Amino acid sequence: MNNNCISNILDNILLLQEQRSTNGIGCTKEILGETSETANTRPINIYTCCNNAIWTMPYDYQGATGESTFFRIESINNNTATFRILINTAGVYTATDNFFIIDLDCVSCIKCLKDTLIATI
């Protein structure tokens, strides 16, 4: 199965995070935040094909460990994508140095969350 729809949306988000542009709504909104100065990341949740469960990944960040359901797209290569694990504490996202690669055929849907500025990208 080739998951073109998910891949196309992730490509759009990745482009926005790298270059920033204007217009659109939702996952395809063509600007991050209210202006190009207010955000550099569109966090997402990932849902798996197997049982439509939300994807969780373990992290280790500055001595703290846990699991997260918040991710930032970092790259796409063919039908795989590399994500950075984000930590969300009281609505504030922190970027970890933890990454994972997923086969996009395993993804049934993504949920785009409110754009945010993450200082340590």
The 10s digit of each residue's pLDDT in 56-81 is 999 999 999 999 999 999 999 988 99
pTM value is: 0.83
| pLDDT confidence band for 25 (50 / 70 / 90) | low
Distance of CA 93 to the CA centre of its chain: 12
The tens digit of pLDDT for each residue in 42-55 reads 999 999 887 778 99
Yes or no: say if 78 and 11 are a contact pair by the CB < 8 Å rule.
no
Considering only the C-alpha atoms of the chain, give the largest distance between any 2 of them, rounded to a whole number of Å: 40
- Please tell me the predicted confidence (pLDDT) of residue 101: 96
